[in-house]
Structure 1
């Protein structure tokens, strides 16, 4: 069950970064085996990609939670540690390792007996949309930003309950994803740590600004309303600045677009130290990689040059294989979207080939391209989550990735792709206390991740068998 109280019942996140002096003092009180952890960097910043400076926070009076007796898979690539102990205070990890070298504190507020269980970092979903539609009866109701926010709140609970403790929203309605991020930070709702990218930046008529329904091909009322598209390099720069002004953690671009537009947006975002993702295909993808885009979302109509370019420029890859398998096999019946591929869309005039998608992921994996886990489910969220996440792991396995590397993609690599590798993705002193405890070894079988026993998000127990 999820444990959540009223406002403040789940510890706030954005304002609770660890004070350098406070961490040094806390670790100094521990035995020498755990006192060697590096102090948290000063000055302190918010726990998101924006890294806004904040005042120090004293955690010395925060509760201490101990997890003892389980097998620790800390995410750093080493062998699992049996009979391990994990110590957390507030929203930070103080110590982690074998019980023989990491004595238990005598004043713990709660101790979890993890004997026979497996302790690992919380999972990360790099491609979600909190404002996407639910199924069955959604066609009976008018949509709005408020309705989208309610749906997103439900999805946030679904994600964290399954052990997904961090998520990147790469396209939202208005400021819905930002407000969900803030609600989780403030303890108003249960959910993963949220990074958001505002609305997708597209050219007029491009992906994100089309006016025909994907399901029927009919034009939307009023041709979709006022255009949201941007045209020319300076308009794309302006769009980036607007998103950063609205507190976006990431910028999301769409194709088609002019080469100069894509390059201008990426250059502008990077000048402000904000990373960029792109939903693209064909030559537009290659242009974006050459311009320095940080992540490529989806393996759509990739050229033979794409993976070598990704390797050369250090581009990360978030394949979202399941999103396209859904289209090919069954579609989204409740939304009236038939199976087989993209229909009625000018910016998606190509065939979806699932075997080619898997082959491209395999090619990227063999080339050493960083691969993250993302789902991108646009409809029927209440039925497809969290199953969609675990299915995505299976697709990565089908593409040739080892179980260990799939787990790394879901944790450490995902955190690095998010620009949060110093705070998330592994279990080690000084990092944020996002922890998943499962009943069987996920290195043996990825589906063992479904056997969730405990979820600790930001130092709070949000799912527990008791």
Structure 2
């Protein structure tokens, strides 16, 4: 008997390491366009890296921010500095007293204020239904492209007023997020720059699709082109669903459980072959499948094993915990009810413990809100401040939390070379705060000025739109 037990223990000791062995992702890595596009070739300011003319979407002129304290987003302590911007690019960070900037630059005196990179929200749904749609969230009006656009425009303004200059939209209706992205990039509408996933991809009855079937509207998630959800069955359909989002202009792909290993591996492989990162809303065994496939980030603080957390850290898979979203749900209704994709314990303590475990393991973590339904963006900027405070409870310092909100967020989007810090060569996404947010997050309630891509979009705390310039009327033909 003793020999049998020893034999079993020995067998377990041999088997366990083999089972835990990391053989690497099943899907191919993200296609790196920098291998074929050198830095000398101007490209679009998104993960697509499409070649563009040198002056594409570049505003004219220059401006200077003088007299403020700079929190540059790199993790360095705030310091007095002058920031010089030419077109859309930060060209210099000068010491106080240095006035080597263009003679025709517009000078903004920001004495007594903090200049910092614009905040990033990694988990937005710009077109998600509003409070007035809650009686029947699957109504025809809710799935109207016009309705979706109006919701998106309103939320973009609120984000901007709250200091958020970049949102990663991880599922919205139809082509609306791509239209909003293009118009914002061209300076035609005002709000944060947008990185859009398009439709969320899941299986029949999967997360975000199940409710449509329960309420008798399967066609919404299946056939309606304006749906937020794309249902796919089998590896080839999951590949095709990814290709559809890419064709519309996606900056990333959003997947959600439930799925098979073959389905998620096919989707990640297809996305990576196109140069797109993948984020996933999943839990328990589905997180194991996502890690095995090779996803780039995982949303929410949902249950996962210690082994899964360790593999996330080892492979560089980021986490966007969205703790504030669950706090709003728990405090509003007492729990997360009626979802087959949330069959486990969820409360504020459990969620923060999971996030703290990822922090201790060294998982890269960024700020995302996912506070979309009902009051949604009306909670801003409080909801963003709440998430920052959550990060300090799980082990971040205030400075580290703000770095997660800026520099790390840009890295998770795969635009760390262009966004997230105030350094020469970076895009001019800058906010001016009346106070010291690196010492007190509440200062973020006083964002006075915001520039996105070098364009003034917020002035005196309100969305700024320049006056219309009349185009000369054509002369009569002679």
TM range (shorter): 0.7 to 0.9
Partner of 2:292: 290
Partner of 1:46: 44
Aligned equivalents of 2:181 and 2:218: distance in 1?
32
- The 10-residue stretch of structure 1 (302-311 or 262-271) with the greater mean CA deviation from structure 2: 302-311
Structure 1 segments, 4+ long, off by >6 Å, are 58-61
Given the two structures, how large is their TM-score scaled by the length of structure 2? 0.82
Tell me by how many angstroms 1:385 deviates.
Answer: 2.8
What secondary structure does 1:348 align onto? coil
Residue 98 (str. 1) matches residue 95 (str. 2): yes
1:384-432 Cα distance to aligned partner (Å, 9 max, x none): 2332222211211222211011000000011011101010001111111
Tell me by how many angstroms 1:382 deviates.
Answer: 4.8
Partner of 2:273: 271
What secondary structure does 1:417 align onto? helix
1:306-321 matches, within 5 Å, as 306-321=308-323
Report the aligned-residue RMSD.
2.2
Contact 1:81 1:98 in 2 (8 A): no
Say if 1:108 and 1:361 are closer, same or farther in 2 by CA, change over 3 A.
farther
Partner of 1:120: 116
Say if 1:135 and 1:59 are closer, same or farther in 2 by CA, change over 3 A.
closer
Q: Which has the larger radius of gyration?
A: 2
Tell me by how many angstroms 1:92 deviates.
Answer: 0.9
Residue 349 (str. 1) matches residue 343 (str. 2): yes
1:440-459 matches, within 5 Å, as 440-459=435-454
Contact 1:75 1:408 in 2 (8 A): yes
What secondary structure does 1:436 align onto? strand
Tell me by how many angstroms 1:58 deviates.
Answer: 8.3
Partner of 2:185: 185
Partner of 2:241: 239
Contact 2:59 2:455 in 1 (8 A): no
Aligned equivalents of 2:256 and 2:222: distance in 1?
18
Residue 55 (str. 1) matches residue 61 (str. 2): no
Partner of 1:398: 393
Contact 1:72 1:97 in 2 (8 A): no
Aligned equivalents of 2:172 and 2:112: distance in 1?
41
Residue 151 (str. 1) matches residue 151 (str. 2): yes
Aligned equivalents of 2:400 and 2:159: distance in 1?
22
Say if 1:422 and 1:382 are closer, same or farther in 2 by CA, change over 3 A.
closer
Say if 1:104 and 1:454 are closer, same or farther in 2 by CA, change over 3 A.
farther
Contact 1:125 1:167 in 2 (8 A): yes
Say if 1:138 and 1:59 are closer, same or farther in 2 by CA, change over 3 A.
closer
Contact 1:149 1:176 in 2 (8 A): yes
Please list every run of 5 or more consecutive structure 2 residues that lacks an aligned counterpart in the other structure: 1-37, 224-229, 462-478
Query: Which residue of 359, 365, 368 maps to 1:374?
Result: 368
Tell me by how many angstroms 1:244 deviates.
Answer: 1.0
Given the two structures, how large is their TM-score scaled by the length of structure 1? 0.84
Say if 1:79 and 1:226 are closer, same or farther in 2 by CA, change over 3 A.
closer
Partner of 1:8: none
Instruction: Give the structure with the higher percent helix.
Output: 2
Tell me by how many angstroms 1:280 deviates.
Answer: 0.4
Contact 1:341 1:351 in 2 (8 A): no
1:180-228 Cα distance to aligned partner (Å, 9 max, x none): 1112112221110100001011011111321358xxxx62346756464
Aligned equivalents of 2:133 and 2:197: distance in 1?
29
Aligned equivalents of 1:151 and 1:283: distance in 2?
35
What secondary structure does 1:411 align onto? helix
Tell me by how many angstroms 1:49 deviates.
Answer: 1.0
Tell me by how many angstroms 1:139 deviates.
Answer: 3.9
Please list every run of 5 or more consecutive structure 1 residues that lacks an aligned counterpart in the other structure: 1-39, 331-338
What secondary structure does 2:42 align onto? coil
Partner of 2:197: 197
Tell me by how many angstroms 1:137 deviates.
Answer: 6.8
1:85-121 Cα distance to aligned partner (Å, 9 max, x none): 1011111111113125x43425133111111111111
